[in-house]
Every structure is written in structure tokens, then in C-alpha cells.
Amino acid sequence: MDDLDRNILAELLKDSKIKLPKLAKKLGVPSSTLHHRIKQLESKGIIKKWTIEVDYKKLGYGIKALVLVFVDVGELKRLGRTQEDIAKELKRVPNIEHVFIITGDADLSFIIRAKDMESLRKILLERVQSIPGIQKTKTFISLSP
């Protein structure tokens, strides 16, 4: 991976919808070179997918929070479950995104979006904390979107 590849990635991270001729001009390379490099980045698995960025606030989801999840390891062993099982289950809960197994005091973390505090409370109490093996959660409300 050279400087051109890094510059391509940097520009695509800013705007993945940019037209190739415009990006080629910006980077000072022919469109054919740019097209070839992007295809190489895809085939190497460096570019995994093309996606969008959603303005959740415009959709009515004004609350964004980071949630730390603490598991009861003894209970997990008793149930024959793992942190990976809990992560998979959390990914199926509506409004939860970016589930991570982490190190430190907590065992997992995720980002959740909710319309308001009541819907956040409901998801956490009724869906998340009812998952077998979860001991407790700790929620941090984001002050930025």
C-alpha cells in the first residue's frame, strides 16, 4: 500500500459517493489508474463494503449512548454460553449497533440509538438485561450525534 492508496482511502472515507473523474482530478491521476487501484483495494479486502452515513436525529432518534455490559462468567459457564453468544444476541436487538467484546472491567460494549429516554430504558431493561448471563450494564449518554 503506497501513498496513492492511502490518499484514495482517505478521500473515500470522506465521501464514498464521489465520482471517479472528480476524485482522479483531485488526486492528480488518470481515472483508469484510480479505477484499477480501487478494484485492487477491494480484491485485497482493504475496502470491504460501500456504505452510507445516516442522520439518525432526522429519523427521530435523538438519543445515542455507549453501553458497557458486564457478564457473570460463572453463569455463562453454567449455561454453556460465551461472550460471543451474548454479542450475537445483542446484534439482534433493534437499535443496537457496533457490538464489541472488550478488555477491562466490562466484557462487551455497544452503541444504541433511541427516540427518547423512555424507549432507551425499555430496550435496556426489557431486551438487554434479560439476556441470560448479563449481570449488569452501565450507560453513557453521548453529547454529540
Residue 53: what pLDDT? 86
- Domain with 121, as residue range(s), is 56-141
Sign of the dihedral through C-alpha 53, 54, 55, 57: negative
Rounded Cα–Cα distance for residues 141 and 119 (Å):
13
Per-block average pLDDT, block size 10, for the chain (145 residues)? 94 93 95 95 94 90 97 94 96 95 97 96 96 96 89
Distance CA 62, CA 116 (A): 6
Domain total of the chain: 2
Give the cell for residue 104. Answer: 477491562
71 in any annotated domain: yes
126 and 73 fall within a common domain: yes
C-alpha cell at 74: 460463572
Tell me what pLDDT residue 144 has. Answer: 85
Residue 105 and residue 61 share a domain: yes
Q: Are residues 90 and 63 in the same domain?
A: yes
Work out the number of other CB atoms within 10 angstroms of the CB of residue 64: 20
pLDDT attached to residue 123: 96
The reported pLDDT for the residue numbered 52 is 87
* Res 130: pLDDT: 94
Q: CATH code at 11?
A: 1.10.10.10
Residues 26 and 65 in one domain: no
